[in-house]
Amino acid sequence: MSTTEIEGTVEMTDAIQEESEVISLCSFHAGEAVFGIDTRKVCEVLGERDLHRVPMAPMFIGGVVPYRGEVLTTVNFRALLSLGEYAGKSCVLVLEDDEAAERFGLVVDSVGGVVTLSLDMLEANPCTLEPRDRWLFDGAYKMRTGLMVQLDPQRLRPARLAETGLFQQRTDGGTDASTDRR
């Protein structure tokens, strides 16, 4: 479903391309919306994976998944958007953070493909955005098919998410562990 859309955008962007102001994004879906992350920050896309849940973890943690001899912590993007559990099997984007030299995963519904876009098409976040979304989103690209919201992997790092305190309360499960946490 997503591939056709993306092919469309690629053709479109070819027409208006200007060398210096082009960025390639990896697109993915969560709920209804389409999001994009700079391909340079994406190490690998893991197909449908079973996530190992971690009890008592903050609500935005999707679980852990084995990845190249490491145990990768994943962030559940749907939880960040306060969406319910995804019915199907999720995909994991492995993101790399240069500064902290730490890898982490981002759990999304499905991964589209690589989209090359012109920076001209980027609009800043609207000022009416909620604080949570303001933290997550990094502007949006106006595409013919709709908007593609850009994300900043830096801000998706589990440690940073925990620091902000915006995403602390547990929404899923309704377990008694929430009272245990602070």
Partner 1 sequence: MSRGDGKLCELMVSRLRPDKEGVDDLTKEFIAESQEGLDRMERCLTELETRPEDGELVGEIFRVVHTIKGTTGFLGFDRLEKLAHTGEHLLSALRDGKLAVTSELISGLLLLMDGLRSILTLIEETGGEGARFSDEDGALIAELSMLRGQTQEIGEARALPVKSIAEARQIAEPAAALSPTSSGSASGVSDKTLRIDVSVLNRMMNLVGELVLTRNQMLQSGLAEANFPELSRRLDSVTADLRETVMQARMQPVGNLFGKFPRMVRDLANTCGRSVRMEFSGQETGLDKSLLEAIKDPLTHAVRNAVDHGIEAPGLRVLAGKPAEGCLRLKAFHQSGSVVIEVSDDGGGIALERVLAKAVERKLVTAEQAAAMSEREALQLIFLPGFSTAAAVTTVSGRGVGMDVVRANVERVGGSVEVESRLGVGTTLRLRVPLTLAIVPSLVVRSGGQSFALPQSALVELVDLPNGDAGQLVQQIGTTEVYRLRESLLPMVWLDRLLGLEPYFAETQRSHYIAVLEAEGCRYGLVVDDLVSPEEIVVKPLSAVLREIGVFSGATVLGNGTLALILDVGATAARAGVKPVEEEMVELKTIVAQELQEISLLVFEARSRERTALPLSVVERIESVPIRQIEYAGGRAMLQYRGELLPLRDEGNVLVEMEAEHARGEDAVATVLICGAPGGERKLRFGMVVRKVLDVSAGTLLEGDKAVDGIQLALVKEKVTVVQREFEMSTKAAWREVA
Q: Which residues bind partner 1 (CB under 8 A)?
A: 50, 52-58, 61, 64-66, 69-71, 73, 102, 104, 158-159, 161-162, 173, 175-178, 180
Least distance between partner 1 and beta carbon 82 (Å): 19
DSSP at 91? E
What H or E segment, with its residue span, contains residue 133?
Answer: helix 131-136
Least distance between partner 1 and beta carbon 145 (Å): 35
Least distance between partner 1 and beta carbon 14 (Å): 40
Give the nearer residue to partner 1 in terms of CB position, either 101 or 127.
101
Least distance between partner 1 and beta carbon 181 (Å): 8
Give the nearer residue to partner 1 in terms of CB position, either 94 or 148.
94
Give the nearer residue to partner 1 in terms of CB position, either 58 or 139.
58
The pair of structure tokens assigned to 117 is: 């876009």
Beta strands 91-97 and 42-48: pairing type? antiparallel
Give the nearer residue to partner 1 in terms of CB position, either 36 or 158.
158
Give the nearer residue to partner 1 in terms of CB position, either 2 or 170.
170
What H or E segment, with its residue span, contains residue 159?
Answer: helix 158-164
Give the nearer residue to partner 1 in terms of CB position, either 69 or 88.
69
Least distance between partner 1 and beta carbon 152 (Å): 18
**β-bridge mates for residue 30, sequence order:** 33
Cα 171 → chain centroid: 19
Contact in structure between 44 and 94 (CB atoms under 8 Å):
yes
Tell me how far CA of residue 164 lies from CA of 21, 41, 90, 97, in angstroms: 31, 22, 26, 18
Cα gap 75→107, rounded to integer Å: 6
Least distance between partner 1 and beta carbon 2 (Å): 29
Cα gap 79→60, rounded to integer Å: 5
